[in-house]
Amino acid sequence: MNQHRAAFAQALPFPLSAAQGSVARFATPLVIVILAILFLILPALRAHAAMNIQEVKSEKGITAWLVEDHTLPIVTMDLVFDGGTTQDPAGKEGLANLMTGLLDEGAGDLDSETFQVQLDDAGAEMSFDAQRDGIHGSMRLLSERQNAAFDLVRLAVNRPRFDKEPVERIRAQLLSEIIANEREPHVIAELAWLRRLYGTHPYSRPPEGTKQSLAHITPADLSAFHKTAFGRDGLHVAVVGDIDAKALSARLDQLFGDLPQKQALAPVSDVTPKLGGWTLVKSALPQTSLPQTSLQLAFPGIGRSDPEFYAAQLINNILGGSPFTSRLFQEVREKRGLAYGVSSSLEGYQHSNTLVVTTSTRADRAAETLDLIRQVIKELVDTGPTSAELEASKKYLIGAYAINNLGSSSSISATLVELQLDNLGTDYIQRRPALIEQVTLDQVRAAAKKLLSAEPAIMVVGPPLGGKG
């Protein structure tokens, strides 16, 4: 883990696409794009391009979504177990994250070294990631060596070993990262921001834990966590590539058939983020002033299953979601050159939702930038978008889906597993354009009022606004 290929970025991409906050500053030169599917805005293409999503059910009752594509000798698979970092016990924050870092570090009869050598020989890539609401796994493998590759996935998911050496090594790497970030203002700010919005709710926890909590995690904790989190009733699977339904069905039982039927998750309550008020984070040491001030504003969000979700998506797109044409981009960057990037996004989680606006600007114009952002938002609430803006936004949201979400085998499988998490059916991609089309101007204006009238939580990273630092 944490392999840095190059120490320094070489190519400079033009604007940050809808990148969020400071973590995305070094966006890769090319946004992930292309390969598949279904362009519903262009009816002539439908016959040629309809993506066929099959729901595959195994003998033991495990289901997965499958898109067959035999063009390349590759299979990609994405899986999610419900739960995630919200399941870390108090005092053992970082447990889910540490466990996921150890799944490819020895399993079954294979120690870490042997497991990794075999994974390499099998021509496969495997990675796991603990997120707030789930543990995500992602694999890419060469179909001609799939027997060996799938067998290693089976071992990793069912029988991780948590041997002493890899546990200590990965723990030390995570500790090193935590220490490395201790004085980084943007990392400090992110933690302060989470505490401000979520108080003591599990969403306020740092996913990687703290120095103290990491030190307290034992191999027994890791095994116990694995047992409670990896159950078949909380499993979601999507597969794309060079494999058919029959073969996948058998694979599903091989991979997951021996897992416990049920997860044993701790309940997590819904939380309304605490908005209003300011969070100010200055530089780590007083003698170092930051060259830029970062601004972040949080407004109320909207649940994925809310009937007004599409109206909210459209208003977000008009405000700051669309990479070049949004109002914020036009006003803050194009007309005034105040920032390199400015964007808004709907951040939806299982237990809370927000709409977040972010930008970074020169310290002496940060107050002006914040005022401008608030003025753009107020205008949108007061007068609403124009019907031309709404139409353009609908076209963008409908057309961009295929390019942003279905552009390669790996992004298709990641998208399909997200659709399952959102309880959307296999026909969702066909239904989606109509759901967006039918939103009216009145509904979008109502959504603007509902989300953007509230007094936001505001965070400033840098010197206090208006001062010279």
Partner 1 sequence: MAFVTTAPVLAANDDIKATNFLLDNGMEVVVIPDNRAPIVTHMVWYKIGSADEPPGKSGIAHFVEHLMFKAATINHAAGECDRAVAEIGGSHNAFTSQDYTAFYETVAPPALEQMMSFEADRMFNLSITDDDIKTERDVIIEERRSRIDNDPQAVLGEAVDATLWQNQPYRIPVIGWMQEMEKLDWSDARAFYDKYYTPNNAVLVVAGDVAPETVKALAEKTYGTVPAAPGLTRIRPVEPGQNTKRTVTLTDARVSVPNFSTHWVVPSYRTAERGEAEALDLLAEILGGGTRSRLYQQLVVKQGIAAEAGAHFEGTMLDASYFSIHGSPRGDAKLADIEAAVDAEIARIARDGVTSDELDKAKDRYVRSVIFAHEQQDSIASMYGSTLATGGNLKDVEERPDRIRKVTADQVKAVAARYLVSDHSTTGYLLPLLPNTEN
The tokens 């994925």 sit on which residue?
304
Residue 467 CA to residue 417 CA, distance in Å, equals 47
Alpha carbon 206 to chain centroid distance?
A: 15
Q: What is the dihedral of CA 101, 107, 112, 118, to 10 degrees?
A: -110
Give residues 75-134 in contact with partner 1 (rule: CB under 8 A): 76, 113, 116-118, 120-121, 123, 125
Site membership for partner 1, residue 2 (CB under 8 A) = yes
The tokens 């977040």 sit on which residue?
356
Nearest distance from residue 324's CB to partner 1, in Å? 4
Site membership for partner 1, residue 396 (CB under 8 A) = yes
Both tokens assigned to 209:
């834990």
Point out which span in 66-74, 91-99, 246-254, 415-423 binds partner 1 (CB under 8 A).
66-74
Binding-residue total with partner 1 (CB under 8 A): 110
Site membership for partner 1, residue 160 (CB under 8 A) = no
Point out which span in 206-214, 269-277, 320-328, 417-425 binds partner 1 (CB under 8 A).
320-328
Tell me whether residue 119 or residue 271 sits nearer to partner 1 (CB atom).
119
* 237 and 58 Cβ atoms separated by less than 8 Å: no
Point out which span in 79-87, 226-234, 255-263, 407-415 binds partner 1 (CB under 8 A).
407-415
Among 131, 223, 408, 426, binds partner 1 (CB under 8 A): 408
Residue 312 CA to residue 224 CA, distance in Å, equals 40
Give residues 363-392 in contact with partner 1 (rule: CB under 8 A): 392
Give residues 201-220 in contact with partner 1 (rule: CB under 8 A): none
Site membership for partner 1, residue 315 (CB under 8 A) = no
* 153 and 145 Cβ atoms separated by less than 8 Å: no
Site membership for partner 1, residue 12 (CB under 8 A) = yes
Residue 253 CA to residue 238 CA, distance in Å, equals 14
Among 127, 142, 223, 228, binds partner 1 (CB under 8 A): 142
Site membership for partner 1, residue 424 (CB under 8 A) = no
Pairing label, strands 457-461, 278-281: parallel
Nearest distance from residue 437's CB to partner 1, in Å? 13
Among 63, 303, 340, 450, binds partner 1 (CB under 8 A): 340
Residue 280 CA to residue 295 CA, distance in Å, equals 10
Site membership for partner 1, residue 266 (CB under 8 A) = no
Residue 303 neighbours by CB under 8 Å, 6+ apart: 309, 348, 353
